[in-house]
Structure 1
């Protein structure tokens, strides 16, 4: 099942987001006003029975617009650690992004004026369901301010700033993803392919990350874990290339769909 949050066609500025199920080129609303978070919390996977709309006619929002917690993982792809000339960590490197970092899969990303070196990171996202178990997967961009990241030991400002976490376009439930460590991930900037890798290069897989976090943290439905980025980030190019206003980033993960957004 693909769980989506959207605005129906011709929705006004005061319209309430709707939860639903994506079925090929249609999206069907959940009955009784159920949200994606309701479905994650209950584990209910019965088919949606509400009004149906063409997928092309709705505005997709972040599946859970304000996750309670967003965890990021650093240096979790072997090749990415190599391109940045850093040693592989012995345990997951965990940081946090704020709920205000989330924007719809179409963005936009708004670069803070203090940031001069803005970068993309296409990532596989893990979404938590009942009892801290993995409910599904999604496509994420861990937008990063490289200049702040280099000079500040803690990464809250560098990776948690407002609009630094576009994700979606929906949550694909675990039953539709036989092996999350065998998915092709690609990132384009203005049509130029920058990242083309497999999640098989993950150092710590999704379940390992969940188990690690559960050692100290309660994980609740809707919590989001960004599992790290593969090689091909702008900061590792020669010469380095950072995002500029008007740039368009597209991230696609096999089976999970794609997100595309601009830098405002």
Structure 2
């Protein structure tokens, strides 16, 4: 398996991305804890009223850093309570080590229940993380040939973090700047290959970013630099309740 050279090479594109990440890091330092809590609640309520979320059975949710991004605890708990299959990121050494491939990659592993979720311990960044010792017993979306896969190996909905987002001027697609490790890029690349091997056309999951309002760039602040590995998102839910991208046209169910 090969990936475009952009992933591990210093290029003008990667330099532009690094500069924007540095700028956003400074900007997000000024966002208060109370604002993050309030915006996270708004994102949760907005997502919970979307049919795209309500109808999804197999979802992945990023687990949040303590600061600088939307907190997803309420989303994880709601999805578990609704009986959805909830998968969260797991990082591990790439077993297919080769030039041009990342040394560490990401899969999505399934949470068993509330107790399992609450047993997760924070890593060095403060992100709740799966105990590697439990991974062999868990369902995984991708993994290696000898791991336990779930009965249906693809996701319906992937809720994604990011550093910065904006809208493409030509097609209205949501552009995302990640944290620079390429974990989601490579995961999405591998999931697309798996979908193709299963005879599916197009990308198999709905991709939705969750972001603080401060992470959405207006034209003077942008653009978000993107390359061939950067998958456009189907939608973006912001901390002020706004929805951007094609998802904005989806119906809201506000009966609750």
Q: TM range, normalised to the smaller chain?
A: under 0.3
TM-score, with length taken from structure 1: 0.24
When you count strand as a share of all residues, which structure comes out higher? Answer: 1
TM-score, with length taken from structure 2: 0.25
When you count helix as a share of all residues, which structure comes out higher? Answer: 2
